[in-house]
Copies of this chain bind each other. A is one copy, B any other.
Amino acid sequence: MTRQQLKYKRKSVVNRKNALIDATLSLIASKGIKGATVRAIAQHANVTQGLIRYYFNTKEQLITAAYRHHMGRLTQVTFAPLNSMPEEGPATRLATFVASGLVPPVVDPGSLSVWASFINKVQNDKTMRETHRETYFEFRDCLEMLIREALVEAGKPASEEGLRQLAIATNAVIDGLWLEGGALPDAFERGELAVIGVRSVSAIIGIDLPEGKSDK
């Protein structure tokens, strides 16, 4: 009584894990957390459901890994432009950083959906809460540094408390525009959010920032 089994190709561990994580994020992005069942994930990744447990002891582990992956990608995409222009002045660097978080693929309904789906787990799971906290402060500290340098350059240095508040405010502008762009993608012109973001940050810290981010 031999059972006929489908043919398959073996993949490396990281390939499989990434494929499963991608399938998970893709499903959460489109159908929410409820759409990310083990069976749906397996189907989306073109494997059978048993394989998931071979790579992840539990579904919770897969979900947690997917969250880290998503946040890591957001961070990476946002920081990349900054790292590729180490020789520019502080004002330009700050403007670039702000704008890079306000265009696709960071601003995106799916990206927002994934982030939102994890919020509750972040609040209840200690590990995820720590990941979230780190991501947030990584952003904010970077902003604070960029703002400090820009203010020094302009000859208007601020106090530590002042810097903290400016960083919180600037971060809020970015997060708020990111949120709105993801929640109502049709309500804004292309590139509009980035322009508004840079202009607002410019006003908040009291420094003229270069707006016309050359598309190259």
Whole-angstrom distance between the Cβ of A134 and the nearest chain B Cβ: 11
Partner of A173, one of B32, B113, B117, B173: B173
CA distance A188 to B172 in the complex (A): 13
CA distance A204 to B177 in the complex (A): 14
CA distance A32 to B28 in the complex (A): 15
Contact (Cβ within 8 A) B180 A172: yes
CA distance A136 to B117 in the complex (A): 20
Contact (Cβ within 8 A) A109 B136: no
Interface window among A2-10, A18-26, A195-203: A195-203
Whole-angstrom distance between the Cβ of A136 and the nearest chain B Cβ: 6
Copies of this protein, total: 2
CA distance A176 to B175 in the complex (A): 5
Instruction: Answer whether residue A73 sits at the interface, using C-beta atoms and an 8 A cutoff.
Output: no
Closest to A165 in B: B196
CA distance A175 to B174 in the complex (A): 10
Is the contact region of chain A dominated by helix, strand, or loop, or is it mixed?
helix
0/1 string, A182-213, CB within 8 A of B gives 1: 01100110001001110110011010000000
A–B complex contacts, Cβ < 8 Å, 13 sampled: A31-B120, A31-B124, A33-B120, A116-B119, A133-B184, A136-B187, A165-B192, A168-B180, A169-B200, A171-B176, A172-B197, A174-B176, A203-B206
Contact (Cβ within 8 A) B123 A119: no
Q: List the B side residues contacting A199 at CB < 8 Å.
A: 165, 169
Partner of A204, one of B32, B34, B121, B204: B204
Q: List the B side residues contacting A184 at CB < 8 Å.
A: 132-133, 136
